[in-house]
Structure 1
Amino acid sequence: MFKSVLIVFSFLVIGQLSPSWATIIRDCNSETGKLISLSVTGCSFNEDSDKCVLNKGETSTLVATFQNFNQTSQANLKIFGILMKRIPVPFIIEPNACASWGVHCPLSANSQSTMTISLPIKDEYPAIPVDIQVSLLDDKKKTIFCLQFAAQIEKK
């Protein structure tokens, strides 16, 4: 049975978070906004590591709440699996976050929004450790937020 994991992460208080939280989610060059919170359903953290365990054949749902600092007419999503800490492999998803992932565009400056992303963990994915990177880009291709966390794909 999957556990729901709620990860609340504010870049304003990162210095006040315990070191283990800082290793679970990392900022990867957010430019024009910040991540406020992230909930990952279909992800369990085992006691021996800070990796999110994703089971093949299941769907993981990410709910990200973020603040953008600038007005933007669109928001585009990019998700990568980073293999061996250096090889990015894109997830094939619809990039338009406004049309497909619940972001209501245009986004006003300093507004808060929530995005819900469903990612199927396909049976053909290898059972390996992978870093998941999620980026949301504005209409000038600047990064509203970027986050990365360690995961382990496993056979159920």
Structure 2
Amino acid sequence: MFGPVCSVLLSCLVLASAFPVFRDCGSQTGVLKELSIESCTTPICTLHKKRNETINVVFHSNNVVNGGKVVVHGILSYVPVPFALDDDNLCHFVSPTCPLRPTEDTYKYSFSLPIKDSYPSVRLKIKWELVDENGKDIVCALFPVEIS
């Protein structure tokens, strides 16, 4: 009896550690359900230079959203540094596509982020915001990474 219970608990711990540790950092008009980085197998994800890393955000929108943008900051020593994306249009990377509606259970935002060789090798936190057309955070996620 004890063996099967331990196996189930151990499996849950392994699955829980397969995703980065993230926290909601101020979602205003939505609910952050999940954040994952496809290549990540540890709580602090390593983003490898010269690769693309796919970031997935599963969320629910409490409002109708016709358009929006994605805002990203790297946080080094508590200082947010803006990170420009080649395409910051939220609707280009969300499924089902815009407009977002509160009647839809969940949406998935998926973005392939190129990790350039010119980036410094450093540990930092990333703040990833999905922002509606009114400038309000639909969801905001904060998660630690290491670039190497």
Shorter-chain TM range is 0.7 to 0.9
Equivalent position amino acid for 1:119 in 2: L
Match of 2:26 in 1: 29
| 1:142 aligned onto 2:142 | no
Match of 1:105 in 2: 98
Question: Within 5 A, what are the aligned runs for 1:54-133?
Answer: 54-98=47-91, 100-103=92-95, 104-111=97-104, 112-133=106-127
Identity of aligned residues (%): 31
CA contact (8 A) 1:75 1:105 kept: no
Summarize the Cα distance change of 1:37–1:6 in structure 2 as closer, same or farther, 3 Å threshold.
farther
CA contact (8 A) 1:31 1:142 kept: yes
Q: Number of matched residues?
A: 130
Query: 1:6, CA displacement in angstroms?
Result: 5.0
User: Unmatched 5+ residue regions in structure 2?
Assistant: 1-16
Work out the CA distance in 2 between the residues paired with 1:35 and 1:26.
Answer: 9
TM-score, structure 1 normalization: 0.75
Work out the CA distance in 2 between the residues paired with 1:30 and 1:88.
Answer: 20
The root-mean-square deviation of aligned C-alpha atoms, in Å, is 1.8
CA contact (8 A) 2:73 2:80 kept: no
Q: Which has the higher Rg, Structure 1 or Structure 2?
A: 2
Summarize the Cα distance change of 1:109–1:37 in structure 2 as closer, same or farther, 3 Å threshold.
same
